[in-house]
Amino acid sequence: MQDPVCKMEVDNTTQFKINYRGITYYFCSQDCLNEFKNNPLKYIPQTDLNKKIDVKIVYCRPCKYMDRALNLARDILSYFEEANVELVQGDKGIFDVYINDELVFSRYIQKRFPEHEEILKELGKRLQKSLAS
């Protein structure tokens, strides 16, 4: 990983890190972290700020899973400004979550509903990867 302030290579185990807009940034020192805190937009390229991640939640309408889907969508949108969330009606007990068209959670496979935290963590990881590229 690269320190956004001084461009030095840092390990993700460093104690100097901050979560900004759902993305964790790592720093080589407290000085670089403080510099970033003073003006984060100076160190994040505009193209990175405009990157979006697409989330699709397919839910069973006859099963009345719409409230679950809406709650998950609300949590995603409140935490990630970069997320575009789409709700798709389905049937037969479906509750699937896709990130950039890749299935990341299926109620049928896991035999349970997703915990919001696990979806948020997966979004954070994928957004971090997209910003690194």
Q: Render pLDDT for 64-90 as a digit per residue (tens, 0 to 9).
A: 999 999 999 999 999 887 788 999 999
Q: Is 122 helix (H, G, I), strand (E, B) or coil?
A: helix
d(CA 105, CA 1): 28
Alpha-carbon distance 64 to 3, whole Å?
A: 46
Extents of the domains making up the chain: 1-48, 53-132
Mean pLDDT of the chain, nearest integer: 89
- Structure token pair of residue 123: 């979004």
Is the model's pTM score more than 0.85?
A: no
pLDDT value of residue 13: 87
Find the helix or strand (DSSP H, E) in which 54 lies. Answer: strand 53-60
Mean pLDDT confidence for 88-112: 95
**Does position 132 have pLDDT exceeding 70, yes or no?**
no
CATH superfamily assigned to domain 53-132: Glutaredoxin (3.40.30.10)
Query: What DSSP state is assigned to residue 114?
Result: P
Pairwise CA distance, residues 76 & 19, whole Å? 15
